[in-house]
Amino acid sequence: MNLLLLAGAAVIFLCLALTKISAKLGFPTLLAFLLLGMLFGCDGLFHIPFEDYALSESVCTVALIFIMFYGGFGTSWRQARPIVGRAVILSTLGVILTALLVGLFCHYVLKIAFWDSMLLGSVISSTDAASVFAILRSKRLDLRENTASLLEVESGSNDPCSYMLTVIILGIMSGQFGSGQLVELVLAQLGWGVVVGIGPALIGRRLLEGWKGQESGSRAMLVFALAVAIYALSSLLGGNGYLSVYLAGIILGNANWAKKRELVHFFDGLTGLMQMLIFFLLGLLATPSRMPEILGPALAITIFLTIIARPLTVVLLLAPCRSSWGQKILVSAAGLRGAASIVFATMAMVSPAYMQKDIFHIVMVIVLCSLGLQGSLLAPLARRLGMIDAQANVLKTFSDYSEEAPVDFIELQIRPDHPWAQRQLKELPALPGLLIVMILRQGERIIPDGQTTILPGDALILSALAPEEDLGLCLREIHLEAGHPWIGRSLSQIKLGPQKLALVLKRQEETSIPNGLTVLQEGDLLVLSQAPR
């Protein structure tokens, strides 16, 4: 037992080291975890024999629960709302069309049995949320036209559809389903998936919004248990558990409740560990010596999927949406396959359905090529297409405004008419509880002393102690789109409601602290503080 624990810790240390190395080399981190698992496997240096597909499928299913949940939890609904229609089309019709195209290619070109072909197409029909999230965030791909949100929502929501297709094809192959039963299965998957995903999440949201005190650990345990319970309940009722946890993540992640940022850090670490586990375990399960047998078909499928099936699907489905060609090309190139496809392949390996092909290793080769080639080329392609937006922030979530440190920092802009302009720090009135810790001046960072003169255009960074207790403040963003009743009115003319205060105003590229005379304009982003309900 102790040796097993030591080996597990050593693997985590190696994965963490690979995270640093891959970030410097531009090598996809998740691919490094996969290769590390293969290094430990039966054909690797350590020759660990491991062929338990059933155990791997169970463990990876649990890991996917948290990856799917956190994919929804970290999705900014305000940023995703303009593209949600396109994302849903890609995650449903896009998955079905991709599965059909790949299945027909496998059957008519590669001469694979028809239902084996359709199963292959279904298993690799979705883009992988963990892979796309990891590359977008590690490479800081701040993309134009809300493309990052489009990719995140699509990749986070299309696994349920791919899973449903896989279950349907396996049921047909094993003779479990007739046409009527298939309709019942689809309705149950979607119906219970939505109901169980939304209902308990709304109850959990109310509990979290009314939570008082400092028990942030209890909040984490509640959300953890809620995600597991939602998946299990949905699956027991015949629903799509992955769809349920993704919807629950969106609802909880976009709610207003205190201490949410602490849960962001908790789930960052948890999903990071789950990604290490799932990719390492699947790499350990692989047998590289078997891959030469299926290398030809696997490479042919990879080329067809990357060059024809995915681009054709994206272009056809986004044609009515007025997407630019740059966005269509980038979305096509970002169709990464990853852990979800391999997990669904393990489902096929433990299914009683008869199969003539080694689907697990075929999908493994496809994933290796996808992460290794597409993942590495995604950032250069985005720059080549001019799709990088220096003003966007792919890391931004609704929890970014939450307090967490014992010291808070604020920025104060010094305009020419500011009373501190052209004065030395020692001449300023005493500021009890505040300290000027840095001056930002034309790209230079200055640590000031009493002799430092403040100049117009300076940005002063001030520090103050953060409150030790949870004040129960939540922050809410309001985006003033065309037709909003607040446009053209000053803050003093607007009734914000009881215990609400306007804290920050972002207008185009400028961020400022508003006052009662501030007149709101179309396109403004207003951040309000309010007590949780």
User: Which CATH number characterizes residue 440's domain?
Assistant: 3.30.70.1450
Name residue 386's beta-bridge partners: none
**161 and 70 both lie in a single domain:** yes
**In terms of residue numbers, what domain contains 489?**
473-533
Higher pLDDT, 158 or 495: 158
Q: If pLDDT is split at 50, 70 and 90, which confidence band does 444 have? A: confident
What is residue 506's predicted lDDT score, i.e. its pLDDT?
85
Residue 277: CB atoms within 10 A of its CB come to: 21
Higher pLDDT, 3 or 53: 53
Rounded-to-10 torsion of CA 270, 66, 17, 30? -170
User: If DSSP codes are grouped into helix, strand and coil, which group holds residue 435?
Assistant: strand
What is residue 399's predicted lDDT score, i.e. its pLDDT?
35
Higher pLDDT, 338 or 246: 246
Residue 63 belongs to a domain: yes
Asked if 169 and 117 count as a contact pair (C-beta separation under 8 A), the reply is no
Residue 108 belongs to a domain: yes
Q: Decide if pLDDT at 252 tops 50.
A: yes
With b meaning 16 or more CB within 10 Å and e meaning fewer, what string describes 149-181? bbbbbbbbbbbbbbbbbbbbbbbbbeeebeeee
With b meaning 16 or more CB within 10 Å and e meaning fewer, what string describes 318-334? beeeebeebbbbbbbbb
What is residue 389's predicted lDDT score, i.e. its pLDDT?
74
Higher pLDDT, 46 or 229: 229
Asked if 151 and 381 count as a contact pair (C-beta separation under 8 A), the reply is no
User: If DSSP codes are grouped into helix, strand and coil, which group holds residue 185?
Assistant: helix
Which residues fall within 8 angstroms of residue 473, CB to CB, at 6 or more apart? 258, 403, 529, 530, 531
Cα(240)–Cα(242) distance, integer angstroms: 6
Nearest to 526 by CA among 489, 95, 498, 83: 489
What is residue 327's predicted lDDT score, i.e. its pLDDT?
93
Enter the tokens of residue 48: 């660990």
**436 and 519 both lie in a single domain:** no
Q: Decide if pLDDT at 316 tops 90.
A: yes
Across the range 109-133, mean pLDDT stands at: 90
Cα(41)–Cα(61) distance, integer angstroms: 21
**200 and 333 both lie in a single domain:** yes
**160 and 294 both lie in a single domain:** yes
**157 and 292 both lie in a single domain:** yes
User: If DSSP codes are grouped into helix, strand and coil, which group holds residue 529?
Assistant: strand
**97 and 240 both lie in a single domain:** yes
**247 and 352 both lie in a single domain:** yes
Residue 396 belongs to a domain: no
Number of domains in the chain: 3
Q: Decide if pLDDT at 264 tops 90.
A: no
What is residue 463's predicted lDDT score, i.e. its pLDDT?
80
CATH number of the domain residue 165 falls in = 1.20.1530.20
Residue 218 belongs to a domain: yes
What is residue 322's predicted lDDT score, i.e. its pLDDT?
82
What is residue 449's predicted lDDT score, i.e. its pLDDT?
81
Per-residue pLDDT tens digits for 85-95 = 999 999 999 99
Which H or E run includes 56? helix 53-73
Phi, psi for residue 459 in degrees, rounded to 5:
-115, 115
Of the listed ranges 128-137, 266-275, 394-403, 513-522, the one predicted with least confidence: 394-403
Residue 357 belongs to a domain: yes
Residue 108, judged by CB atoms within 10 A of its CB (0-12, 13-18, 19+), counts as exposed
Q: Where is mean pLDDT largest: 44-53, 135-144, 233-242?
A: 233-242
Which residues fall within 8 angstroms of residue 357, CB to CB, at 6 or more apart? 112, 113, 116, 120, 294, 297
What is residue 405's predicted lDDT score, i.e. its pLDDT?
44
Q: If pLDDT is split at 50, 70 and 90, which confidence band does 145 have? A: confident
Across the range 330-341, mean pLDDT stands at: 91
Per-residue pLDDT tens digits for 195-225 = 999 999 999 998 888 776 556 678 889 999 9
Across the range 404-424, mean pLDDT stands at: 79
Average pLDDT of the chain to the nearest whole number: 85
What is residue 265's predicted lDDT score, i.e. its pLDDT?
79
**240 and 356 both lie in a single domain:** yes
Residue 504 belongs to a domain: yes
Cα(189)–Cα(185) distance, integer angstroms: 6
Number of H helices, E strands in the chain: 19, 10
CA-based angle 43:46:47, to the nearest 5?
A: 40
Residue 401 belongs to a domain: no
**334 and 459 both lie in a single domain:** no
**319 and 440 both lie in a single domain:** no
**239 and 273 both lie in a single domain:** yes
**137 and 255 both lie in a single domain:** yes
Enter the tokens of residue 257: 């409740």
Q: Where is mean pLDDT largest: 57-66, 94-103, 478-487?
A: 94-103
User: If DSSP codes are grouped into helix, strand and coil, which group holds residue 35?
Assistant: helix
Asked if 197 and 246 count as a contact pair (C-beta separation under 8 A), the reply is yes
What is residue 230's predicted lDDT score, i.e. its pLDDT?
97
What is residue 398's predicted lDDT score, i.e. its pLDDT?
34
What is residue 402's predicted lDDT score, i.e. its pLDDT?
39
Asked if 346 and 57 count as a contact pair (C-beta separation under 8 A), the reply is yes
What is residue 404's predicted lDDT score, i.e. its pLDDT?
41
Q: Where is mean pLDDT largest: 173-182, 314-323, 434-443, 466-475?
A: 314-323
Residue 269 belongs to a domain: yes
Nearest to 189 by CA among 127, 234, 223, 256: 234
Cα(380)–Cα(374) distance, integer angstroms: 10
Residue found under tokens 């985006």: 479
Across the range 103-127, mean pLDDT stands at: 95
Which residues fall within 8 angstroms of residue 95, CB to CB, at 6 or more apart? 125, 126, 158, 161, 162, 165
What is residue 213's predicted lDDT score, i.e. its pLDDT?
57
Residue 77: CB atoms within 10 A of its CB come to: 16
